[in-house]
Amino acid sequence: MNLDLKLQEHAESRPENPAIGWDSGELTYRQLNEQVQKLANRFTERGIRSGDKIAIILENSPELVISYYASMRAGAINVTVNPALTSREFGIILNDCRPEIIITESKIAERVKNSGLDWPVELMVTGPDFDRYIDQGAVEAGGGSRYQEACTILYTSGTTGVPKGAVLTHDNLYVNAEVFGRNLGLTARDRSLIVAPLTHIAAQTNQLNTTLISGGFCYLMKRWKSTAETLGKMEEQRITYFFGPPTMITYMLNEPNLTDYDLKLRLTYTGAAPLPEEIFQRWAKLFGFEIIEGYGLTETSPVVCMNPVEGEKKLRSVGLPIEDVEVKIMSDAFEEMPPGTPGELVVKGPNVMKGYYEREEENRKAFRDGWFKTGDIAMKDDEGYIYIVDRKKDLIIRSGFNIYPREVEEVLYMHPAILEAAVIGSPHPEKGEMVVAMLTLRDGYDESVIEELEPFCRERLATYKVPSEFRVIEEFPKTNSGKIMKTKLKKVAVRQIL
CA distance 1 to 52: 22
Of the pLDDT bands very low, low, confident and very high (cuts 50, 70, 90), residue 380 is very high
324 & 445 share domain: no
Q: Tell me whether residue 384 is in a domain.
A: no
Task: Select the more confidently predicted residue: 84 or 19.
Answer: 19
Q: Per residue in 108-127, pLDDT tens? A: 999 999 999 999 999 999 99
Q: Provide the greatest CA pair distance for the chain.
A: 72
Query: Given 346, 378, 410, which residue is the final one in a domain?
Result: 378
How far apart CA 307 and CA 124 sit, in angstroms, is 41
Verify that 343 and 482 share a domain, yes or no: no
Same domain? 493 vs 449:
yes
Mean pLDDT of the chain: 92
- What's the pLDDT band for 208 if we cut at 50, 70, 90? very high
Indicate whether 38 belongs to any domain.
Answer: yes
Q: Are residues 412 and 290 part of one domain?
A: no
In a domain, 93, yes or no: yes
Q: Which domain holds residue 113?
A: 3-378
- Cβ neighbours, 10 Å, residue 348: 18
Q: Angle formed by the axes of helices 128-135 and 29-45, to 10°?
A: 90
| 386 domain-assigned | no
| Residue 95 pLDDT | 97
Least confidently predicted of 358-362, 396-400, 461-465: 396-400
- Picking from 248, 96, 84, the residue whose alpha carbon sits closest to that of residue 158 is 96
* Distance in angstroms (rounded) separating the CA atoms of residues 105 and 58: 6
- The answer to whether the beta carbons of residues 402 and 395 sit under 8 Å apart is yes
pLDDT at site 329:
98
Q: How many CB atoms within 10 Å of residue 377?
A: 17
Final residue of a structural domain among 378, 410, 434: 378
CB 268 within 8 A of CB 283: yes
Q: Judge contact between 497 and 469, C-beta under 8 A.
A: yes
Tell me if 103 is assigned to some domain: yes
Same domain? For 401 and 332 the reply is no
- pLDDT score, position 141: 76
Asked, for residue 385, whether it belongs to a domain, the answer is: no
pLDDT of the residue at 394: 76
Same domain, 251 and 344: yes
Residue 489: per-residue pLDDT? 83
Average pLDDT over every residue of 298-306: 97
The pLDDT assigned to 159 comes to 40
Percent of the chain scored above 70 by pLDDT? 95
What is residue 406's predicted lDDT score, i.e. its pLDDT? 78
Do 352 and 412 have their domain in common? no
Per cent of the chain over pLDDT 90 is 77
pLDDT grade, residue 146 (50/70/90)? low
How much is the pLDDT for 156?
Answer: 87
Mean pLDDT within 84-99? 96
pLDDT at 481: 42
351 and 402 together in one domain: no
Residue 256 has pLDDT above 50, yes or no: yes
User: For position 111, what pLDDT does the model report?
Assistant: 97
Confidence of residue 268 (pLDDT cuts 50, 70, 90): very high
Contacts of residue 102, Cβ cutoff 8 Å, sequence gap at least 6: 54, 55, 57, 94, 112, 121, 122, 123, 124
Q: Does residue 152 share a domain with residue 238? A: yes
Co-location of 57 and 147 in the same domain: yes
Task: Assess whether 260 and 141 both reside in one domain.
Answer: yes
pLDDT of amino acid 492: 66
Does 106 reside within a domain? Answer: yes
What is the full DSSP assignment across 195-207?
-S-TTSHHHIIII
Q: How far apart are alpha carbons 354 and 20 in whole angstroms? A: 30
CA 70 to chain centre: 21
Look at residues 70, 60, 65 and name the one whose alpha carbon lies nearest to residue 137: 70
pLDDT of residue 392: 61
Cα distance between the two ends of the chain? 53
Give the CATH number for residue 445.
Answer: 3.30.300.30
Lowest mean pLDDT among 11-20, 60-69, 205-214, 401-410: 401-410
Q: Counting beta carbons within 10 angstroms of the beta carbon of residue 58, is it exposed (0 to 12), middle (13 to 18) or buried (19 or more)?
A: buried
Nearest-10 Cα torsion for 238, 240, 243, 246: 90
Q: Is the pLDDT of residue 474 over 50?
A: yes
Number of domains comprising the chain: 2
Dihedral angle computed from the Cα positions of residues 287, 289, 290 and 291, in that order, rounded to the nearest 10 degrees: -70
The CA distance from 279 to 275, in Å, is 7
Q: Assess if residue 56 is contained within a domain.
A: yes
* Each residue's pLDDT tens digit, 211-233: 999 999 999 999 999 999 999 99
Q: What is the pLDDT of residue 118?
A: 94
Where among 378, 408, 438 does a domain terminate? 378
For 329, residues 6+ apart whose C-beta sits below 8 A from its C-beta are 336, 337, 341, 342, 343, 344, 345, 346, 378, 379, 380
Q: Are residues 157 and 203 in the same domain?
A: yes
pLDDT tens digits, one per residue of 6-42: 999 999 999 999 999 999 999 999 999 999 999 999 9
pLDDT band at residue 367 using 50, 70 and 90 as cut-offs: very high
